[in-house]
């Protein structure tokens, strides 16, 4: 399970330039995806994210295709400076101890470990941080600007290999089948920002982000209490408090040159499976971000997604935009 950027096109962005109205996570399904499956994605699965995070707004296209168990792609890159990321994270001011510790754990100036490189963010994370002018992708993989018609924050492809059994949470799961919705959550999290810039598919670790950027999640990888960026030493883990705590409930990151995502966890099957495990758990049903030990929620909270505390009131700008949209619909109906 992996996230790929099809083209190394990076755009410098400023902070605080966008307005993110709360639309939540939405899935647009390819015609090959059953209508009932699409409905579950937009109710049960999207509901998990929308009830957990107040600023997780992403439009995702989902399809079947030739891939491993699952793959996600943002299509194109978005990059900001380290100082801008810090400023955006502080300005977002999300609630909770994880976010507070995460903000405090990042020094004001970029550590030498990252060599002054920019921070690579997904368009969904950029939206959460209030950034506009973000690169997205059409369903066909073309460059587009987030907010324009037919522009998605990413594409999720689930295997169409007939030898790989998928379970849709109907009836008893086959011991060799994989929970379709758990796989989708894994890929959704990567589109939101849990994927690293470090690639493990070659002869050695390599940075596949342009400008040797670090992904936002790379800033929270530690080993033995010290930050690590590109290192094959086993034992790396996610920490939101400068290495003091393993914030993924004891899960360890993959650091080997083995083709698994560098920001995926070493598989916890069968005892402690997690959504972000590098390999799926066959025969295990109902694994979600809300019942896998808190790893996914902690990571997404740290990188920039705000936990829901109360039902947010829509902003005046969003209400105005909604009013304009309603007027436009009314006028179209009148003309018709």
Per-residue pLDDT tens over the stretch 11-48: 555 433 333 445 799 999 999 999 999 999 999 999 99
pLDDT surpasses 50 at 247: yes
Q: What mean pLDDT do residues 139-164 have?
A: 98
Q: Domain for residue 183, yes or no?
A: yes
For residue 80, the model assigns a pLDDT of: 98
- Asked if 156 contacts 169 with a C-beta cutoff of 8 angstroms, the reply is no
Coil, helix or strand for 115? coil
Average pLDDT, the chain: 88
Smallest Cα–Cα separation from 127: which of 152, 103, 110? 152
**What mean pLDDT comes out for the span 303-322?**
62
pTM, whole model, 2 decimals? 0.88
Q: Please, are residues 201 and 259 in contact by the beta-carbon 8 Å criterion?
A: yes
Is residue 126 assigned to a domain?
yes
Domain assignment present for residue 329? The answer is: yes
Proportion of the chain above pLDDT 70, given as a percent: 85
Evaluate if residue 263 carries a pLDDT over 60.
Answer: yes
Q: Comparing 57-66, 208-217, 257-266, 308-317, which segment has the lowest mean pLDDT?
A: 308-317
3 vs 99, residue with greater confidence: 99
Exposure of 35 in the CB half-sphere (CA atoms within 13 A): 0
Mean pLDDT of 123-137: 97
pLDDT at 325 over 50: no
Beta bridge partners of 178: 166
Domain annotation covers residue 28 = yes
Q: Is residue 274 part of a domain?
A: yes
- Residue found under tokens 């605080």: 16
Predicted pLDDT at 18: 35
* Cα separation of the two ends of the chain: 47
Predicted pLDDT of residue 310: 58
User: Count of domains in the chain?
Assistant: 1
Q: What is the mean pLDDT of residues 240-262?
A: 94
**What is the model's pLDDT at position 125?**
98
Measured between alpha carbons, how far is 182 from 168 in angstroms, rounded to an integer? 10
Residue 122 covered by a domain: yes
On whether residue 239 sits in a domain, the answer given is: no
pLDDT of residue 309: 85
- The pLDDT confidence band at residue 259, using thresholds 50, 70 and 90, is confident
Does a structural domain hold residue 242? no
Q: Look up tokens 């107040």; give the residue.
A: 54
Give the pLDDT confidence score for residue 122 in this predicted structure.
Answer: 98
The parent domain of residue 172 ranges over 2-221+254-335
Lowest mean pLDDT among 88-102, 141-155, 242-256: 88-102
pLDDT, residue 189, reads 98
Summarize pLDDT for 159-215 with one digit per residue, the tens. 999 999 999 999 999 999 999 999 999 999 999 999 999 999 999 999 999 999 999
Instruction: Say yes or no to pLDDT of 327 above 80.
Output: no
pLDDT-derived band at 96 (thresholds 50, 70, 90) equals confident
Task: Give the pLDDT score at 282.
Answer: 96
């Amino acid at each position: 399970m992996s996230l790929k950027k099809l083209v190394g096109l990076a755009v410098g962005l400023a902070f605080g330039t966008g307005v993110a109205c709360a639309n939540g996570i939405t899935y647009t399904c390819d015609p090959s995806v059953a209508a009932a499956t699409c409905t579950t994605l937009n109710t049960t699965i999207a509901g998990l994210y929308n009830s957990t995070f107040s600023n997780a707004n992403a439009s995702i296209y989902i399809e079947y295709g030739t891939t491993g168990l699952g793959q996600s792609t943002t299509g194109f890159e978005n990059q900001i400076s380290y100082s801008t990321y810090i400023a955006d994270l502080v300005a977002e001011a999300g609630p909770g101890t994880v976010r507070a510790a995460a903000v405090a754990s990042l020094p004001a100036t970029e550590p030498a470990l990252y060599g002054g490189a920019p921070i690579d963010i997904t368009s969904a994370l950029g939206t959460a941080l209030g950034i506009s002018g973000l690169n997205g992708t059409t369903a066909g993989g073309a460059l587009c600007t987030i907010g324009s018609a037919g522009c998605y924050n990413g594409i999720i492809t689930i295997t169409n290999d007939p030898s790989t059994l998928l379970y849709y949470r109907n009836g008893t799961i086959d011991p060799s089948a994989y929970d379709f919705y758990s796989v989708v959550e894994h890929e959704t999290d990567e589109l939101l920002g849990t994927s690293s810039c470090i690639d493990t598919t070659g002869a050695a670790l390599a940075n596949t982000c342009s400008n040797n950027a670090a992904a936002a999640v790379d800033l929270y990888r530690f080993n033995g209490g010290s930050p690590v960026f590109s290192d094959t030493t086993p034992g790396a883990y996610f920490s939101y408090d400068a290495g003091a705590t393993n914030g993924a409930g004891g899960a360890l990151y993959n650091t080997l040159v083995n083709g698994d995502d560098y920001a995926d966890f070493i598989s916890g099957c069968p005892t402690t499976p997690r959504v972000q495990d590098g390999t799926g758990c066959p025969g295990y049903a109902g694994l979600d971000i809300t019942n896998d030990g808190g790893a996914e929620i902690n990571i997404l909270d740290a990188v920039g997604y705000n936990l829901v505390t109360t039902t947010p009131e829509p902003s005046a700008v969003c209400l105005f935009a909604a009013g304009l949209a309603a007027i436009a619909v009314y006028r179209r109906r009148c003309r018709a």
